[in-house]
Chain A
Amino acid sequence: MPAQLLTGWGRTGATRAEVAAPGSAEEIADVLAGAGRRGVLARGLGRSYGDAAQNAGGTVVDTSALSSPLELDGAGSLKVGAGVSLDTVMQTFIPLGWFVPVTPGTRQVTVGGAVAADVHGKNHHVDGSIGRHVSRMRLVSPTGVHELGPDDDLFWATVGGMGLTGVVTEVELRMTPIETSTMLVDIDRTPDLDATMSLMAEGDEGYRYSVAWIDCLSTGRSLGRSVLTRGDHAPASALPGRRRDDPLAFSPRTRLAAPPWAPSSLLNSMSIRAFNEAWYRRAPRRERGAVHGLAGFFHPLDGVSGWNRLYGRRGFLQYQFVLPFGQEDVLRRTVERLAGGGCPSFFGVLKRFGESDAGHLSFPVPGWTLALDMPIGPPALGPLLDALDAEVAAAGGRVYLAKDSRLRPEHLSAMYPRIDEWRAVRDRVDPDGVMCSDLARRLGLLAHSPGPGPL
């Protein structure tokens, strides 16, 4: 097995692992059985920002060989190999009138990774996270092969379980029927955070998809000014005449590629401020019923391949947290601190979550979630985010493990109160602690006491 240095999408904290690419459940079982002391972890397309898909000194299972089946029945139930990307699923089935039930901000994630992180999308307030749409899955754990459904507690320990229950090899997903590959979109530009939040609180229920792009650098009266984008799948009848001929056409293009090398100083306070300003100004003040393509609506950043390289050698992180409803004051204070903290942030995204699903470590809880990309470098970044972690934890919120690259173990049990319940289910199928990741080591996810894990 070749050794590789692996990082997450943020390109921070590289560690070495032996990478194996088993093609079947049997071969995966062999890898798990032959695991060394540093354990095994599955890795999909490496889109987690932090260390969730790394396993220092151990084995990493590249799931790209788990590329079959890819079969849809007439009722919209998709049987899919865990290594298949959502991009492939969409390119294959959108033209047939079926959309994925949940998509994160990129198509470049695998189905297995999406389940392990229990990803959410712009429709969380209506449709929940992806686990809600999984009817069955096959999991290879260190103690055997499990066929799991939503009645099994191991199913929910695996949904959002960050790959630490075993390797998911196959998933059955209920797809969403669509008439067209376009969206009907309403856009509102808001002057400040309060306006953004009240518009979302009042109107989100009228849309299947809703998200606000938020400028986390402007301060004072325009603190939290946003561009709120909401929409639904367009019915065929809503299309202009010339597009009705091929209403389900879907051919997303990568328009640009980031250069292989960029100086760490490219994305600094000034350039990010200028970008935020331009993005805000170019949005219409109010627009109704605009017809947008699916790719532009859901995955705008997929148009630039390797955009993570723009952050330079030191990389970047994404800070995403959720605060329960009722903690709006904390959210306001958080945005104030981020805007005034001397740490530039890019692509701020604000979204309202609906009901939680049953995953023990699943991230979404009903409330407000904010996600920000921040370049590594400003000395104030560590202390600022540490202080925000403490506030988020105290307010009953949590940070998203799939994005995390710097949380400290002492906040884990406050943020994820069901962690011991999850550990009990997990330990049942992995009593020897074969499944492991750098995230698990850093946060002590597998240990029953707080602190860095023993491995």
Chain B
Amino acid sequence: MRDALGRPQTVAVFGGTSEIGRSVVDLLLRRGAARVVLAGRDTGALEDVARDLRRRHGARADVVPFEAADRSSHERAVDEVFAGGDVDVVLVAFGVLGDQERDERDPAAAAEVVDTNFTAAVSVGVAVAGHLRVQGHGTLVVLSSVAGERARRSNFVYGASKAGMDAFYQGLGAALAPEGVHVMVVRPGFVKTRMTAGMKPAPLATTPEAVAQVVVAGLDRGARTVWAPPPLRAVMTVLRHLPTPVFRRLPL
């Protein structure tokens, strides 16, 4: 159960090797969480993470195999994540950036980005929501992106996939509110991770640790949407309202 201060006891991450996911888990364990379930594709790497968490935090850490691309396996993986008892916070952290130049010319590659970031996120969201409804409590945190707020020339395939999942989870939040379940959408900007290695950092670039701070602060106050870093909220509000000819001329 989460306590009166909003601190969870059990956290599950889909995309357990995600750097943002790991930072969030680290922070929640330091604040008193006692159990972690890591779901992801590379179970070898996840076992390493789990060992590290057990050693550093004395936490219970379990690993569940989960393959975003294999839609038929989602329900089973989600069932397994919940098999060990209530989960207070579920973090949906998997996703791919794709390669814009390739994706806008290669239909299969574009569909793959959308399959992972949107279709799989929706399918996992529906399955997780089923368990949270039964529990009657819990928080579902999903890593969206500012790229979904307005389509940009430089990453619109990725941006479109995030826009879709962002909208889905907003709606899911409305559906689950009467069930005692809370949904929080996280919109990070440019985060320095493996995913963005070699790219030129955008303005207001941030780190996984800083995103984790924003996520946990949002959990504490029961936020529905958070931006990381927080000033991006104002920036995106302006960008969303720029006339298209002006927006297109911006070097974004």
Contacts and interface: CB of A to CB of B under 8 A. Distances in A.
B200 interface: no
A376 B219 CA distance: 13
A15 B180 contact: yes
Nearest to B84: A454
Given A15-B137, A57-B134, A453-B85, A381 B1 contact: no
A442 interface: yes
B4 A451 contact: no
A455 B85 contact: yes
B86 interface: yes
Given A56-B1, A56-B136, A5 B178 contact: yes
A10 B4 CA distance: 8
A314 B180 CA distance: 15
Interface stretch (B30-38, B42-50, B113-121, B140-148): B30-38
A405 B60 contact: no
A452 B135 CA distance: 14
A406 B9 contact: no
Nearest to B88: A452
B32 A382 contact: yes
Contacts of A376: 4-5
Contacts of A315: 4
A324 interface: no
Given A56-B135, A451-B60, A408 B32 contact: yes
Interface string B37-69: 000000000000000000000001000000000
Contacts of B179: 3, 16
B32 A441 contact: no
A51 interface: yes
B1 A454 contact: no
Nearest to A10: B4
A38 B136 CA distance: 9
Interface residues of B, number: 27
B136 A452 contact: no
A406 B4 contact: yes
DSSP majority for the A interface? loop
Contact of A454 (B4, B5, B85): B85
A433 interface: no
Given A15-B136, A452-B34, A382 B180 contact: no
A10 B60 CA distance: 30
Nearest to A408: B32
A58 interface: yes
B180 A5 contact: yes
Contacts of A38: 134-136
A51 B5 contact: no
A254 B137 CA distance: 34
Contacts of B106: none
DSSP majority for the B interface? loop
Interface in B111-167: 133-137
Interface in B1-23: 1-7, 9-10
B137 A16 contact: yes
Nearest to A313: B222
A57 B135 contact: yes
Interface string B180-198: 1100000000000000000
Contact of B221 (A5, A14, A314, A453): A314
A393 B181 CA distance: 33
A83 interface: no
Contacts of A17: 136
Interface range for A: 35 or more
A142 interface: no
Contacts of B136: 15-17, 38, 55-58
A386 B32 contact: yes
B134 A13 contact: no
A451 B31 CA distance: 15
Given A57-B135, A382-B31, A442 B3 contact: yes
A302 interface: no
Contacts of A438: 1, 137
B2 A455 contact: no
A8 B199 CA distance: 50
B137 A442 contact: no
Given A57-B135, A382-B31, A452 B10 contact: yes
Contact of B85 (A381, A405, A452): A452
Contacts of A453: 85
Contacts of A88: none
A317 interface: yes
A406 B178 CA distance: 24
A406 B7 contact: yes
Which of B60, B133, B221 is packed against the most chain A CB atoms within 10 Å? Answer: B221
A389 B36 CA distance: 24
A451 B34 contact: yes
A5 B179 CA distance: 7
A412 to B, nearest CB: 13
Contacts of B1: 13, 15, 51, 56, 438, 441-442, 452
A10 B12 CA distance: 27
A50 interface: yes
Interface in A428-450: 438, 441-442
A451 B221 CA distance: 25
B215 to A, nearest CB: 15
Contact of A57 (B4, B10, B137, B178): B137
A77 interface: no
Contacts of A406: 3-5, 7
A269 interface: no
A372 B167 CA distance: 43
Contact of A56 (B6, B7, B137, B178): B137
Contacts of B180: 5, 14-16, 56
19 contacts: A12-B6, A13-B3, A14-B137, A51-B1, A56-B1, A57-B137, A58-B136, A317-B5, A376-B5, A405-B4, A406-B3, A406-B4, A408-B34, A409-B34, A438-B137, A451-B34, A451-B60, A452-B10, A452-B85
Given A315-B4, A317-B5, A451-B34, 4 more contacts: A15-B136, A38-B135, A50-B4, A56-B135
Interface of A: 3, 5, 10, 12-17, 38, 50-51, 55-58, 313-315, 317, 376, 381-382, 386, 405-406, 408-409, 438, 441-442, 451-455
Give 5 nearest A-B pairs by CB, closest first.
Answer: A57-B136, A16-B180, A405-B4, A56-B136, A12-B4
